[in-house]
């Protein structure tokens, strides 16, 4: 079949999980449950941080931004997959595929950068506690988040525009349940050397530099904690980093595991299954990790629950008044 320019492509087939017809009802229920838990869990974190004045600090500001990104990160892929299962369709329009790929790359990059910013915040809090409030002021925190958004948006835009320059065969089948950048480049019928170069350079710059920044921050944090003579002080300092360190380990270990397993196998079902780890499972677990290991968030959850339970009966009582 002769290749045709990308402008002639009207739709793409998403093959991930679509070959398991007998398991699709179970897959639908599982993914719907995971998606709802992810959305409501991260939304609850945002509500708790915004409603409790004691949590209006840089650490929780970045945490609420991470929760916001995780909600949209999963929303770029799961709803479309659920819709395809429900309608027994494998089709996504070419334009929709490019849009999905853009936002997926955007929020994946944002996850990495915000985790780096959070590591820097912990570095300043533990290594320079006396000047922490001066350095990590509101405007600087907003600037860090804004720069993260700009870098991720420009990187994602560059990758998407370069994919639009490629040529494809009239019928495309992607072995995932969403449009992934690497999959799109592999399916191109034209030369993809420049696309691969930009993709790998982008991965090194975003993931590599972010991970290096995190490791450097924690090396300094460990040195500072080691210098603390009081064991209680050491525990208190480390406890503020434990949740973030757990999330970082989960994010990078699952992402690395997915791409290593993808390189080792060519099974579409296996590739789609391993992709679930960092597209669904990691964003879902983040709220649980922070809420279970953080006393301040637990207090915030209790305060929010009391506000809701008190406000509910009060509103009902006012409605009964003549």
* Spatial distance between the Cα atoms of 272 and 252, rounded to a whole number of angstroms: 18
DSSP string, 245-309: HHHHHHHHHHHHHHHHHHHH---HHHHHHHHHIIIIIHHHHHHHHHHHH-HHHHHHHHHHHHHHH
Q: pTM for the full model?
A: 0.87
**Which top CATH class is 9-294?**
mainly alpha
Residues 6+ apart with CB under 8 A from 118: 59, 62, 63, 66, 244
Check pLDDT > 90 for residue 265: no
- Decide if 67 contacts 89 (C-beta within 8 A): no
Average pLDDT on 240-251 reads 83
CA separation for the pair 187, 204 (Å, rounded):
22
Helices vs. strands in the chain: H and E counts, helices first: 13, 5
Question: What are the structural domain ranges in the chain?
Answer: 9-294
Q: What are phi and psi of 57, to 5 degrees?
A: -135, 165
**Segment 42-64 mean pLDDT:** 89
Q: For residue 230, what pLDDT is reported?
A: 76
Reported as a single tens digit per residue, the pLDDT across 123-143 is 999 888 889 999 999 999 999
- The reported pLDDT for the residue numbered 233 is 67
pLDDT grade for 1, boundaries at 50, 70 and 90: very low
């Amino acid at each position: 079949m002769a290749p045709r320019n990308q402008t002639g492509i009207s739709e793409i087939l998403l093959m991930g999980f679509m070959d398991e017809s007998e398991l699709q009802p179970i897959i639908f229920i599982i993914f719907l449950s995971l998606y709802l838990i992810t959305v409501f869990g991260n939304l609850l974190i945002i509500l708790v941080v915004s409603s409790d004045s004691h949590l209006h600090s840089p650490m929780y500001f970045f945490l609420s931004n991470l929760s916001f990104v995780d909600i949209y990160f999963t929303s770029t892929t799961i709803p479309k997959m659920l819709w395809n299962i429900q309608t027994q369709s494998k089709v996504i329009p070419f334009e929709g595929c490019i849009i999905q790929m853009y936002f997926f790359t955007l929020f994946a990059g944002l996850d990495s950068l915000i985790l780096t910013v959070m590591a820097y915040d912990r570095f300043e809090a533990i290594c320079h506690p006396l000047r922490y409030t001066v350095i990590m002021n509101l405007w600087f925190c907003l600037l860090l988040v804004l720069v993260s958004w700009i870098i991720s948006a420009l990187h994602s835009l560059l990758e998407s525009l370069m994919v639009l320059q490629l040529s494809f065969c009239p019928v495309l089948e992607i072995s995932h349940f969403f449009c992934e950048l690497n999959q799109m480049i592999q399916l191109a019928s034209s030369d993809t050397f420049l696309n691969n170069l930009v993709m790998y350079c982008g991965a090194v710059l975003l993931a590599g530099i972010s991970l290096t920044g995190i490791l450097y921050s924690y090396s300094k944090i460990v040195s500072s904690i080691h210098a603390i003579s009081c064991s209680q002080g050491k525990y208190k300092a480390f406890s503020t980093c434990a949740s973030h360190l757990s999330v970082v380990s989960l994010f990078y270990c699952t992402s690395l595991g997915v791409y290593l397993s993808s390189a080792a196998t060519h099974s579409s079902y296996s590739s789609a299954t391993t992709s679930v780890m960092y597209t669904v499972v990691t964003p879902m677990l983040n709220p649980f990790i922070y809420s279970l290991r953080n006393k301040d968030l637990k207090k915030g959850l209790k305060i929010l629950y009391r506000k809701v339970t008190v406000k509910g009966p009060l509103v009902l009582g006012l409605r009964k008044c003549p």
